Chains A and B, each alone.
Chain A
């Protein structure tokens, strides 16, 4: 049964066809779960297929046609994944949107993708769409999953998911051949989805990916990482992000594993633990939050527990990674590690929900070496991935046993990578995207005639054949003294301190490097509470002289590290200031995936940058903040500018 199943799976060239294979071969296996009313509800592959079929027929009855786009907005919900499957079954194209996007961004995407039908999660999204209704005249039908609060809404273009599903069931009875006929019409070269990149610059671009792009890449990754049909995955990242689309949809369809939708964003950690996931994708900040929560709880633990924790974490640091990588370890260390496993590591992994973890992947950003080492020393196989939406996510992954914090690993099967003379990483693979939707100019800029994707990242291969990414190619600059300035490299070094949440560095074409810092309110807040330092909120805490001194120590530590690196010792940070507000995607300072939008920050905080380079010791600032409901407020502060000590290699030697 399994073998014939696998054979037919391999033949299918679209996701809806795969779904029909699952219906035939593994109808009773769980496909998707959702925690609702405190209980995990699950649906089998058979039910998944039936739900997709019902909704597809309902959409068809409402006039959804081949090539139409279906907008999808909301948290990760089974019905929203079924909606994607339903659209694809009809030869339509699902376009997931970031649900926390501000109105303008949403209007742009809905308009640009020519979306006619939208499936949303709840009232919040319906209200958002109603508010912008005049600006999105093409939208004909809005379908909502959760009816709460929508009872009094009376619009001809608004229907509940239940209604459409019911309509579909009737339509299906009247046209029993319709669904299968539609599915068989699809082919691998069709467009599977359009994912809008949040874009660090300008308007979002719609990345058009075909079934062949997504399916070939997924199959290669599943094979090389030995992903099994019984994996458990948590679906909690934005549906509009390639990472979630890959893990919760593409890989799930191909491997046939089960996807779990958490109850709400806040319960994610509890849900993670209840499910005991085996395959996990998370950007570094999720691991960071996990580590921070462990550390805070350990600080509050009893003396004995704290001692035990720190002692065995020391043992783990020494031996854990080597044991995980199957390298030789002394008998004594093995013994201590085994005791530590019983007393500390296993209970800790259980609390984190990582007990059954087979493979954890981090990507999207560089991960701090300490953070990385922490999880690996516990015996959790966490690996780095390098990818891009335009390359269907998977470009390189670290092979087992060759994992480290600095590189992003080796190319996944089927991927070719070259480094141009300018130092840019370029990629050719079956996953390289079709085009940017309705934007041939941008497509040409990103993909050359031979099908190479120009990633825009600067990097090189190290001696072991591992790719190492330094920064965005266009961001790498030089100081006036000729030293290389890689802003993201410096920012990541800063961000590896738990007290620093976000950093922006300046230095290209300047005499010295200066930085903006965002403190981490949880970590610094906890630190302040321990010192009986009262504060009222972010702005107040950020303005405390004690906090300045704390951050200054961190920056000096970065300078010490840099001094030891011959390429980068000239780019030590001379001055910094702590920003009065957290950088926020709503204010256009970060992308939706929380990457710094350098250009808009430079424009917005020009005064502050000038102050950093003018020798002043403080600078008043007034800036606008946008609230989630679109209201605008003003925030005033007087920021202190702090000078930091820099080091020469000689000084370092003397000190040691």
Chain B
């Protein structure tokens, strides 16, 4: 599949990023690039700095040194809502949904950036406001269809099993129509079937909408089959960057994952 798809220009460039919390160095001099339409996995053992990396990309953390260039715009400092406006969507490692709201409403919250703030018009449900609302609903329904959530559309998220909640979270991220989608361990804690389904959906997103996907995972097996490229982190350092095959052969990666005799 990777061959048949051609990748575009560089959408995201990470340049010599270092991040530390007090004395703890979470990320040390990390550089890599992501091209438009690419499916990139960042892997590494627990505590390798994967989530920190993601948080740097969408502006939650501010690195001490280095720059992030997104769509040609270089910045040192960016608030997360600005990241969302620029088309960076994400899901979280521990699900961050509104548990009491239905699947449909949760996904709709993902549209909030696209809603033009006209409180009065929305309140009286008239003219352009009504058209806009219908348009948002149509978009949400497309996502429900895409992620096969039809049967639980009206179910409060809190009542759903974990695997489905993860899928709803993906749905909410998609509702913002992101150009770059950051997935933070979307498959953690899932059984094999749920993992397969999630892989399928992540690939479909990449395939159908051309969305660039950066996915974090600590389980190597899962990502090797689906990624175009893999970046491996260990103790905040980048130890490998290449195709799944190259990474698999890399002695440092083997060491990080299998460990050495004590």
* Interface flag for A650 (CB, 8 Å): no
Given A264-B150, A267-B151; A151-B207 close (CB under 8 Å): yes
Q: How far is the CA of A305 from the CA of B159 in the complex (A)?
A: 23
Given A38-B141, A148-B208; A266-B151 close (CB under 8 Å): yes
Q: How far is the CA of A38 from the CA of B134 in the complex (A)?
A: 12
* Interface flag for A131 (CB, 8 Å): no
Residue-wise interface mask of B (196-225) relative to A, using a CB-CB cutoff of 8 A (1 in contact, 0 not): 000000001001100000000000000000
Least CB distance, B109 to chain A, in whole angstroms: 17
For A154, list chain B residues within 8 Å (CB): 4
* Interface flag for A270 (CB, 8 Å): yes
Least CB distance, B116 to chain A, in whole angstroms: 23
Least CB distance, A297 to chain B, in whole angstroms: 14
For B145, list chain A residues within 8 Å (CB): 36-37
A149: contacting residue among B141, B142, B153, B207, CB under 8 A: B207
For residue A265, which residue of chain B has the nearest CB?
B151
Q: How far is the CA of A44 from the CA of B204 in the complex (A)?
A: 34
Q: How far is the CA of A1 from the CA of B145 in the complex (A)?
A: 41
For B162, list chain A residues within 8 Å (CB): none
For B144, list chain A residues within 8 Å (CB): 37-38
* Interface flag for A152 (CB, 8 Å): yes
Given A37-B142, A37-B145; A149-B150 close (CB under 8 Å): no
For residue B138, which residue of chain A has the nearest CB?
A37
> Is the CB–CB distance between A149 and B5 below 8 Å?
no
For B1, list chain A residues within 8 Å (CB): 152
Residue-wise interface mask of B (138-156) relative to A, using a CB-CB cutoff of 8 A (1 in contact, 0 not): 1001101110101101000
> Is the CB–CB distance between B146 and A148 below 8 Å?
yes
For residue A629, which residue of chain B has the nearest CB?
B196
B151: contacting residue among A37, A148, A149, A264, CB under 8 A: A264
> Is the CB–CB distance between B207 and A267 below 8 Å?
no
Least CB distance, B251 to chain A, in whole angstroms: 33
Given A37-B141, A38-B141; A152-B5 close (CB under 8 Å): yes
Q: How far is the CA of A36 from the CA of B204 in the complex (A)?
A: 20
> Is the CB–CB distance between A270 and B151 below 8 Å?
yes
For A152, list chain B residues within 8 Å (CB): 1, 4-5, 207
Q: How far is the CA of A151 from the CA of B4 in the complex (A)?
A: 11
Q: Which residues of A from 248 to 264 have beta carbons under 8 Å from B?
A: 263-264
For B4, list chain A residues within 8 Å (CB): 152, 154
For B148, list chain A residues within 8 Å (CB): 264
A266: contacting residue among B5, B150, B204, B207, CB under 8 A: B150
Least CB distance, B170 to chain A, in whole angstroms: 16
Least CB distance, A506 to chain B, in whole angstroms: 35
For A266, list chain B residues within 8 Å (CB): 150-151
For residue B143, which residue of chain A has the nearest CB?
A37
> Is the CB–CB distance between A149 and B138 below 8 Å?
no
Least CB distance, B206 to chain A, in whole angstroms: 11
For A264, list chain B residues within 8 Å (CB): 148, 150-151
Q: How far is the CA of A266 from the CA of B148 in the complex (A)?
A: 10
Pick from B144, B148, B151, B207 the residue with the most CB of A within 10 Å: B151
State how many residues of chain B have any CB contact under 8 Å with chain A.
17
For residue B141, which residue of chain A has the nearest CB?
A37
> Is the CB–CB distance between A267 and B150 below 8 Å?
yes
For B5, list chain A residues within 8 Å (CB): 152
A148: contacting residue among B141, B150, B204, CB under 8 A: B204
Least CB distance, B167 to chain A, in whole angstroms: 14
For A148, list chain B residues within 8 Å (CB): 146, 204, 208
For A38, list chain B residues within 8 Å (CB): 137, 141, 144, 150, 153
Least CB distance, B192 to chain A, in whole angstroms: 11
For A149, list chain B residues within 8 Å (CB): 204, 207-208
For B153, list chain A residues within 8 Å (CB): 38
Q: How far is the CA of A149 from the CA of B207 in the complex (A)?
A: 7
For B141, list chain A residues within 8 Å (CB): 37-39
For A263, list chain B residues within 8 Å (CB): 150-151
For residue A148, which residue of chain B has the nearest CB?
B208
Q: How far is the CA of A531 from the CA of B4 in the complex (A)?
A: 56
Least CB distance, B106 to chain A, in whole angstroms: 15
Pick from B5, B142, B207 the residue with the most CB of A within 10 Å: B207
For residue A263, which residue of chain B has the nearest CB?
B150
Least CB distance, A381 to chain B, in whole angstroms: 29
For B207, list chain A residues within 8 Å (CB): 149, 151-152
Pick from A36, A37, A149, A263 the residue with the most CB of B within 10 Å: A37
Least CB distance, A326 to chain B, in whole angstroms: 39
Q: How far is the CA of A151 from the CA of B204 in the complex (A)?
A: 10
Least CB distance, B102 to chain A, in whole angstroms: 12
Least CB distance, A556 to chain B, in whole angstroms: 37
Q: How far is the CA of A152 from the CA of B204 in the complex (A)?
A: 11
Q: How far is the CA of A266 from the CA of B146 in the complex (A)?
A: 15
For residue B152, which residue of chain A has the nearest CB?
A266
Residue-wise interface mask of B (65-107) relative to A, using a CB-CB cutoff of 8 A (1 in contact, 0 not): 0000000000000000000000000000000000000000000
Q: How far is the CA of A154 from the CA of B4 in the complex (A)?
A: 10
Least CB distance, A396 to chain B, in whole angstroms: 36
Q: How far is the CA of A270 from the CA of B153 in the complex (A)?
A: 11
Q: How far is the CA of A148 from the CA of B209 in the complex (A)?
A: 11
Q: How far is the CA of A38 from the CA of B149 in the complex (A)?
A: 11
Q: How far is the CA of A148 from the CA of B142 in the complex (A)?
A: 12
Residue-wise interface mask of A (150-166) relative to B, using a CB-CB cutoff of 8 A (1 in contact, 0 not): 01101000000000000
Q: How far is the CA of A151 from the CA of B138 in the complex (A)?
A: 22
For residue A39, which residue of chain B has the nearest CB?
B141
For A270, list chain B residues within 8 Å (CB): 151
Least CB distance, A540 to chain B, in whole angstroms: 16
Residue-wise interface mask of A (129-149) relative to B, using a CB-CB cutoff of 8 A (1 in contact, 0 not): 000000000000000000011
Q: How far is the CA of A126 from the CA of B23 in the complex (A)?
A: 56
Q: How far is the CA of A154 from the CA of B146 in the complex (A)?
A: 22
Q: How far is the CA of A151 from the CA of B153 in the complex (A)?
A: 27
For B137, list chain A residues within 8 Å (CB): 38
For residue A269, which residue of chain B has the nearest CB?
B151
Residue-wise interface mask of B (216-246) relative to A, using a CB-CB cutoff of 8 A (1 in contact, 0 not): 0000000000000000000000000000000
Q: Which residues of A from 10 to 53 have beta carbons under 8 Å from B?
A: 36-39
For residue B210, which residue of chain A has the nearest CB?
A151
Least CB distance, A296 to chain B, in whole angstroms: 15
Q: How far is the CA of A266 from the CA of B153 in the complex (A)?
A: 11
Q: Which residues of B from 40 to 65 have beta carbons under 8 Å from A?
A: none
Q: How far is the CA of A154 from the CA of B3 in the complex (A)?
A: 13
Least CB distance, A293 to chain B, in whole angstroms: 14
Q: Which residues of A from 39 to 75 have beta carbons under 8 Å from B?
A: 39
Q: Which residues of A from 98 to 128 have beta carbons under 8 Å from B?
A: none
Given A37-B138, A38-B141; A151-B150 close (CB under 8 Å): no
For B151, list chain A residues within 8 Å (CB): 263-264, 266-267, 270
Q: How far is the CA of A264 from the CA of B137 in the complex (A)?
A: 19
Q: How far is the CA of A39 from the CA of B146 in the complex (A)?
A: 15
Q: How far is the CA of A149 from the CA of B205 in the complex (A)?
A: 9
Q: How far is the CA of A443 from the CA of B108 in the complex (A)?
A: 58
Least CB distance, B241 to chain A, in whole angstroms: 26
For residue A149, which residue of chain B has the nearest CB?
B204
Residue-wise interface mask of A (266-288) relative to B, using a CB-CB cutoff of 8 A (1 in contact, 0 not): 11001000000000000000000
Least CB distance, B42 to chain A, in whole angstroms: 25
B208: contacting residue among A37, A39, A151, A267, CB under 8 A: A151
Which residue numbers of A lie inside 8 Å of B, CB to CB?
36-39, 148-149, 151-152, 154, 263-264, 266-267, 270
Besides the known contacts A37-B145, A270-B151, 15 further A-B residue pairs in the complex with CB atoms under 8 A apart: A36-B145, A37-B138, A148-B146, A148-B204, A148-B208, A151-B208, A152-B1, A152-B5, A152-B207, A154-B4, A263-B150, A263-B151, A264-B148, A264-B151, A266-B151
Lowest 6 CB-CB distances: which A-B pairs, in order? Answer: A266-B151, A37-B141, A38-B141, A267-B151, A263-B150, A267-B150
- What are 7 A-B pairs with beta-carbon distances under 8 A? A37-B141, A37-B144, A38-B153, A149-B207, A263-B150, A264-B148, A270-B151
Which residue numbers of B lie inside 8 Å of A, CB to CB?
1, 4-5, 137-138, 141-142, 144-146, 148, 150-151, 153, 204, 207-208
